[in-house]
Structures are given as structure tokens and as C-alpha cells.
């Protein structure tokens, strides 16, 4: 039985949440495998809108949700989100949600460092979500993290906090920010422990069992390939691997568990935060895309930068991300635009490139090479079958397929769950 892994193919906010929710009807388990509450996944189901950050989107369909070891978990944010979702009528209990006992925690000290460092960077800031994601991943790799399982061992918490604060308080003091008291952090963690621990377990064991019994697993990526810490527009990236390969390591399964890889891309392109964006439009067309697409960040409310579809970038994401099929979302936002452009490469210092080279200076200088394509006067909004699409919209999709060297297997034509067109079922054997 095929599993499916969903990843973003641009700089995030491509509509992963909507696609995961839609495909979750065919899955048994939905697993988050990287990132943290920097993600914001929006699901629109009838008159309800769900905004999920840490919780797997499959919970909305009543599927088992698993937060894997590759995720960084802010326990307070998790409990608040569970409360918020319960208020919206979702049933979230230790029966429906499991979290990896070896996942690292995000503590208030991480968010403080994140913000203090961004402030110190000034003009060169990354534009992080300020939620402590980067510092928490740094602590994991530095072997300084406090993990979910440590909540069950007050004596471990004690010396782990000593080590953590030795590092972070020195840094915070150097940045002129307020330092943290060990006792306060410890008391807060001990108070949270009884609320978090009932959800914790070695999820790798449950997942291994699920695989053996033929259950279908849907892996829900956060962020996107161009924000990947290795393959993205470094240093303007997040601090985790967002490519499909991470689904295995971030859940505690072998690489064969990843299954079919579906990349999600908008029919245009957006980015939140700083960093290179060759096809960005700072003109009226960019503003029009932003207004029509309601391009405001789910997590921070920041206006998203908008631009033309960059096929060179998505082609690169297809290759390094392991993407086998592309879901193209927000096609409706392009309705009635006379002319569309597609980025097919870059010009940097007079030389032409088919991909974005890794250097920060080169990336900042990259000028897009465009191909122009006629728009369509009809509407794709709410279309639920290929036959409803204007012929020119189909041409646009076909051209994208050629340029990114990957078939478009799913289309989304509005925020609403069922305004979706499936061409190839990724779960099919
Ligand atoms: P994610 O982070 O990849 O899950 O994406 P977000 O939820 O942050 O942002 C995508 C936004 O676009 C959300 O507000 C969705 O409701 C909305 N959306 C998703 N698909 C479509 C679509 O096909 N058309 C339109 N107009 N909006 C969409
Ligand atoms: P979803 O899952 C869009 C961006 C931030 C910033 C950079 C680093 O909703 O697609 P971080 O807080 O992770 O250290 O910030 O990454 N970023 C996102 N942009 N969508 C996201 O998630 C993002 N998560 C992080 O804006 O530029
Ligand atoms: Mg988002």
C-alpha cells in the first residue's frame, strides 16, 4: 500500500494544509515530520476555517495524528492549539493524537534568542516567525535540547536546564536581552508535564505496526524546499530539512516508508520574510495577486511578497525534494489576467543559469528570464473537473509540467476542501 508525502515546492504557504486535508480522507494516519509552530496550515470546510500550526491536518477528518521526532514542539503552544481546536469542535485526545517522546522541546528561552538575534541583525534579518524554531534545532544538534521524555524525569530536567541556560543566558546577556531563571523554567515544565505526557510515546513503534498492518500513512510537510536548511536560499531559510527524505528520519521509519511524493506549488509564487525572490513583483500586478490570493501569513499576519510562477525554482525543488507529482493550487487567482509570465531561468552578471546558484550574492542579483503566455478570460474558481477549465488555463498547466519536468496530478481552484481536481491518485498502487 502506497504512503504519500506532501511537501511545499516553493517558499511555503502553497496550500499544503488544504491538500493534506483533502487527501486525508484516503489515509489512516497523518504525520508531521519537521518544523514546528512556524507552520500555518489553513483548511476551509464549509463555514469552518481551521488554522493549524503543530497539529497534523488529518485531525480535522478524525484521522490519527502523529507529531514525529523531527518536529520541534513548544508544549505551551501545543496545549493552546489543542484548546483552540477543541473550541472548534475537534475531538483531540491521547487516542487521536500521539507525539514522539524523543522530540525536542521549544522553551521560552528559544523564542527570546530568536527575537534578540533578529533584532541584532537589523537590515539583514531573516524575517523568522520569532517562535524559537532555529534556536531549538540548534540545541538539538548541539545535544543540549530538552526532549518530551525528559518531562517524566525531574532529575534529568535539572541538569539539562543547567547546561541549556549556561549557553543561552550568556548569549542573551551579550545581546542585552533578559536572562532566564532555571527555577521558573523548571516549575513551568513540571506543571506542563501531566498535560503533555499522556500524548507521548515511541511513535516509531506505532508507525511500524501500522505499516505492517497495511495502514496508509500521509506525511504532512511544513515550510517548503526553498526554505530547506540545505537546499533552500540559505541563510534565508528555516532550520529543518523540508525535503521528502526527511519524512522517514523525522518519523522514525525507513526511507521506503515515504511513498509517493507530492509537491505543492501555487500557480504563481509567494514568500514571507526576507531573502531572494527573483520573480517578485513590486508593482500593481504583485499587489493584485496579493489581494486576490489573500496573501497574508497565517502565523504572523505579515503580507506575503508575490510574483510570477518560477519554473526554474520549482524544477530545482522537484529534483532535490524527490517530487513525483505536482499539485498546483490557487489557479483561480490568475483568472482574467490578460498575460502571464513564467520564470524559466536567471541572468546573473550577464551569464544565464537554469537553476539558482547557492551563493547569497548571486541569488540576490538573479534576474528572471521570462516566457510570456496568454491568460484566460473565463473562470477556474471552484472548478471540480478538468472539463470546466478554460482551454488557455490547461495550456498554462501543460507548459508548467514541461518546464518543471514533473506531471501536475492535482489542482486546487478555491480554498474550499472540495474545490479540487484529482488527475492521478497518489495512494493508488
Ligand atoms: P500551507 O502553509 O501550505 O498549508 O498554506 P496556507 O494555509 O498558509 O496558505 C494557503 C492559503 O490559500 C490558505 O488561506 C488557503 O485557504 C488558501 N488556498 C488554498 N488553496 C487555494 C486555492 O486553490 N485557491 C484559493 N483562492 N485559495 C486557496
Ligand atoms: P508553512 O508550513 C512560509 C519562513 C519565515 C522566515 C524563514 C525562517 O505554513 O508553509 P523560522 O521561524 O522558520 O526560523 O523562519 O522561514 N517560514 C515560512 N514561510 N510558510 C511557512 O510555513 C514558514 N515557516 C517558516 O517567514 O522567512
Ligand atoms: Mg502556511
Express each pLDDT in 82-102 by its tens digit. 999 999 999 899 999 999 999
Ligand 2 and 227: CB distance under 6 A: yes
- pLDDT of 429 strictly over 80: no
Rounded to a whole number, what is the distance in angstroms from the first to the last CA of the chain? 6
Is-cis flag, bond preceding 235, omega within 30?
yes
| Res 324: pLDDT | 98
User: What is the rounded distance in angstroms from the CA atom of residue 362 to the CA atom of residue 352?
Assistant: 12
Give the pLDDT mean for 134-149: 98
Task: Report pLDDT digits (tens) over 35-71.
Answer: 999 999 999 999 999 999 999 999 999 999 999 999 9
| Res 298: pLDDT | 80
13 is in an annotated binding site: yes
299 is in an annotated binding site: yes
Q: How many CB atoms lie under 10 A from the CB of residue 158?
A: 12
Task: Report pLDDT digits (tens) over 116-130.
Answer: 999 999 999 999 999
User: What is the rounded distance in angstroms from the CA atom of residue 341 to the CA atom of residue 343?
Assistant: 7
Tell me the three cell numbers of residue 333.
487567482
How are beta strands 408-412 and 420-422 bridged, if at all?
A: antiparallel
| Res 228: pLDDT | 98
- pLDDT of 412 strictly over 80: yes
Give the pLDDT mean for 334-359: 97
Which residues does 130 contact at the CB level (< 8 Å), separation at least 6? 111, 114, 115, 118, 300
Give the pLDDT mean for 187-203: 98
378 is in an annotated binding site: no
Dihedrals φ, ψ of 272, to 5°? -110, 145
Ligand 2 and 38: CB distance under 6 A: yes
Tell me what the pLDDT averaged over the chain comes to. 97
User: What is the 2 CA–ligand 1 centroid distance (Å)?
Assistant: 26
Active site residues: 13, 41, 140
Take atom 28 of ligand 1 and give the residue whose Cα is closest.
Answer: 415
Could you identify the atom of ligand 2 that is nearest to the CA of residue 240?
13
Task: Report pLDDT digits (tens) over 127-140.
Answer: 999 999 999 999 99
Above pLDDT 90, what percent of the chain? 98
**Any idea how long the chain is?**
429
**How far, in Å, are 249, 299, 364 from residue 268 at the CA level?**
31, 21, 20
223 is in an annotated binding site: yes
Could you identify the atom of ligand 2 that is nearest to the CA of residue 8?
10
| Res 1: pLDDT | 59
Could you identify the atom of ligand 1 that is nearest to the CA of residue 333?
26
- pLDDT of 237 strictly over 70: yes
What's the pLDDT band for 301 if we cut at 50, 70, 90?
confident
User: What is the 348 CA–ligand 1 centroid distance (Å)?
Assistant: 32
Give the pLDDT mean for 1-29: 96
Ligand 1 residue neighbourhood (C-beta within 6 Å)? 8, 12-18, 40-42, 44, 293-294, 298, 329-330, 332-333, 412-415
Amino acid at each position: 500500500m502506497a504512503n504519500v508525502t506532501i511537501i511545499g515546492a516553493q517558499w511555503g504557504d502553497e496550500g499544503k494544509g488544504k491538500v493534506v486535508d483533502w487527501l486525508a480522507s484516503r489515509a489512516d494516519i497523518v504525520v508531521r515530520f519537521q518544523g514546528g509552530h512556524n507552520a500555518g496550515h489553513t483548511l476551509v470546510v464549509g463555514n469552518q476555517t481551521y488554522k493549524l500550526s503543530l497539529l497534523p491536518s488529518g485531525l480535522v477528518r478524525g484521522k490519527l495524528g502523529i507529531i514525529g521526532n523531527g518536529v520541534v514542539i513548544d508544549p505551551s503552544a501545543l496545549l493552546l492549539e489543542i484548546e483552540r481546536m477543541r473550541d472548534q469542535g475537534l475531538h483531540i485526545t491521547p487516542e487521536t493524537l500521539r507525539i514522539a517522546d524523543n522530540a525536542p522541546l521549544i522553551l521560552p528561552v528559544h523564542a527570546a534568542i530568536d527575537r534578540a538575534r533578529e533584532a541584532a541583525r537589523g537590515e539583514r534579518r531573516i524575517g523568522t516567525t520569532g517562535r524559537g524554531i532555529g534556536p531549538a534545532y540548534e540545541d538539538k544538534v548541539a545535544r543540549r535540547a530538552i526532549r518530551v521524555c525528559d518531562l517524566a524525569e525531574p532529575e534529568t530536567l535539572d541538569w539539562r536546564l543547567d547546561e541549556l541556560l549556561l549557553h543561552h543566558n550568556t548569549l542573551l546577556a551579550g545581546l542585552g536581552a533578559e536572562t532566564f531563571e532555571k527555577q521558573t523554567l523548571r516549575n513551568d515544565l513540571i506543571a506542563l508535564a501531566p498535560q503533555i505526557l499522556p500524548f507521548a510515546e515511541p511513535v516509531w513503534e506505532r508507525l511500524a505496526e501500522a505499516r505492517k498492518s497495511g495502514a496508509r500513512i500521509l506525511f504532512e510537510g511544513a515550510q517548503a524546499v526553498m526554505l530547506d536548511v540545505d537546499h533552500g536560499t540559505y541563510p534565508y531559510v528555516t532550520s529543518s530539512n523540508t525535503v521528502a527524505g526527511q519524512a522517514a528520519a523525522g518519523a522514525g521509519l525507513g526511507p521506503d516508508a515515504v511513498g509517493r511524493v507530492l509537491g505543492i506549488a501555487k500557480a504563481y509564487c509567494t514568500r514571507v520574510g526576507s531573502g531572494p525572490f527573483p520573480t517578485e513583483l513590486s508593482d500593481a500586478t504583485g499587489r493584485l495577486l496579493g489581494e486576490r490570493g489573500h496573501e497574508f501569513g497565517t502565523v504572523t499576519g505579515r503580507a506575503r511578497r508575490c510574483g510570477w510562477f518560477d519554473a526554474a525554482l520549482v524544477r530545482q525543488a522537484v529534483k532535490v525534494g524527490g517530487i513525483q507529482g505536482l499539485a498546483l493550487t490557487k489557479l483561480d487567482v490568475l483568472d482574467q489576467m490578460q498575460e502571464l509570465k513564467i520564470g524559466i531561468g536567471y541572468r546573473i552578471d550577464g551569464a544565464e543559469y537554469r537553476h539558482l546558484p547557492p551563493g547569497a550574492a548571486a541569488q540576490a542579483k538573479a534576474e528572471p528570464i521570462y516566457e510570456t503566455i496568454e491568460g484566460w478570460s473565463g473562470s477556474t474558481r471552484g472548478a471540480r473537473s478538468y472539463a470546466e477549465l478554460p482551454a488557455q488555463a490547461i495550456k498554462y498547466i501543460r507548459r508548467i509540467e514541461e518546464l518543471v519536468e514533473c506531471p501536475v496530478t492535482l489542482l486546487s481552484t478555491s480554498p474550499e476542501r472540495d474545490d479540487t481536481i484529482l488527475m492521478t491518485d497518489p495512494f493508488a498502487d
